[in-house]
Amino acid sequence: MAERVIPVIAHRPAGRPVRAPDHALPASGRVADRLGRPLRDLRISVTDRCNFRCSYCMPKEVFDKNYPYLPHAELLSFEEITRLARQFVAHGVRKIRLTGGEPLLRKNIEVLIEQLAALRTPEGAPLDLTLTTNGSLLARKARALKEAGLQRVTVSLDGLDDAVFRRMNDVDFPVAEVLAGIDAAREAGLGPIKVNMVVKRGTNDHEILPMARHFRGTGHVLRFIEYMDVGATNGWRMDEVLPSAEVVRHIGAEMPLRALDASAAGETAERWSYADGSGEIGVISSVTQAFCGDCNRARLSTEGQLYLCLFASQGHDLRGLLRGGASDEQLAGAIAHIWQGRSDRYSQLRGQQAPDASAPGARRVEMSYIGG
């Protein structure tokens, strides 16, 4: 059989070259984009590799042994990441989330965490430093992560039924090991722990109630994420999206729920508490209810491209600027300049115009590359 060739360009388009602006744009901590949205949340993808093959993210047929993952020299080093992060913090970032791919696969990730934990806001406060993981290596690493300065973790888990979970991660990984990872994170003090469940209608929607029952009363916050049309490889179909409103109705019928106020502006999850006080859940309605209006998230890809939206087709090449010898002031100026030009609001527009993923320039990058 002929070997399938995957064009690298389809998944990692070359970034737009970034120039240092002619006029210095000093960091005031209040940079805003064209829709008046501040810069508060930075998600950093530390690797494009993963030991799972969740079909909605890294389907096996595409991410096989021939997939052109980035060679080590292409990745931002820890020093480069920290240097960039410092400039983002000067512009108003207060929360950093490490993600991937699977972030715990990046060698010596604790060293990066130590460096990021040492950063301070202009007011001298530490950052909200967190990490999203599939949990497979958490039992082994939780203590070291906490000691390095990580504050909390979000663990992805798509069901409690072992057969369903093994099928969804598509590498036959057992659910018990992820649950052990969550326990280890709690013991290490990496809480409050959030547990993310991507819901695919017809695949794991029957796991909603067992998951809710299991995590109720544990102090962990279970969040249900609508299956998104991110990337270009997961074969997304609208009829596989289960609207969050249905999730809330379903759980509420057995365990009455009360709506809570958002805990912070730009918060992606709508929060609900159990009426009897036994905990909280969240729903992330990325498809059925756009939350672009106060989206304050920037994403730094594994190779140092700045993406202004999860659905962007191109990033801004900060690594080129960094490796070209730019000063801190030039980096800060470039970041401000890029953010000030931002007008992305894909989810809001999704309902109005059907995106054509096959149109030139419309190829969206994969979530494993820019981070969830």
The contact set with ligand SAM (CB under 6 A) reads 50, 56-57, 99-100, 102, 132-134, 156, 196, 198, 225, 227-228, 230, 234, 367-368, 372
- For ligand SF4, the binding residues in 102-131 under the rule CB under 6 A are 102
Min dist CB 101 to ligand SAM, Å, is 6
- Nearest CA to 45 out of 132, 121, 117 is that of 132
Of positions 33, 42, 46, 52, contacts ligand SF4 by CB under 6 A: 52
Partner that binds at residue 75, options ligand SF4, ligand SAM, none, CB closer than 5 to 8 Å by kind: none
Per CB under 6 A, does 310 bind ligand SF4? Answer: yes
Cα end-to-end span (Å), the chain: 35
State the DSSP code for 213.
H
Of positions 346, 364, 365, 369, contacts ligand SF4 by CB under 6 A: 346
- Relative to beta strand 95-99, strand 305-307 is unpaired
Cα–Cα distance for residue pair 48/229, rounded to 1 Å? 19
Closest to ligand SF4 by CB, 87 vs 134, is 134
Closest to ligand SF4 by CB, 192 vs 351, is 351
Q: Give the helix/strand (H/E) hosting 224.
A: strand 221-226
- For ligand SF4, the binding residues in 347-366 under the rule CB under 6 A are 347
Per CB under 6 A, does 291 bind ligand SF4? Answer: yes
Per CB under 6 A, does 295 bind ligand SF4? Answer: yes
Q: What is the dihedral of CA 156, 158, 161, 163, to 10 degrees?
A: -100
Q: Do residues 103 and 137 make contact, with C-beta atoms less than 8 angstroms apart?
A: no
Site string for ligand SF4, 57-76 (x = CB under 6 A): xx------------------
Q: Do residues 346 and 292 make contact, with C-beta atoms less than 8 angstroms apart?
A: yes
For 226-293, the DSSP string reads E----SSSS---GGGB--HHHHHHHHHHHS-EEE---SSTT--SEEEEETTSS-EEEEE-TTTS--GG
Cα–Cα distance for residue pair 104/164, rounded to 1 Å? 23
Partner that binds at residue 234, options ligand SF4, ligand SAM, none, CB closer than 5 to 8 Å by kind: ligand SAM
Q: Which stretch binds ligand SF4 (CB under 6 A): 45-53, 209-217, 229-237, 318-326?
A: 45-53
Residue nearest to ligand SAM (CB): 372
Measured in whole angstroms, the distance separating CA 151 from the mean position of its chain's CA atoms is 16
**Interface contacts to ligand SF4, rule CB under 6 A:** 50, 52-54, 57-58, 100-102, 134, 156, 291-292, 295, 297, 309-311, 344-347, 368
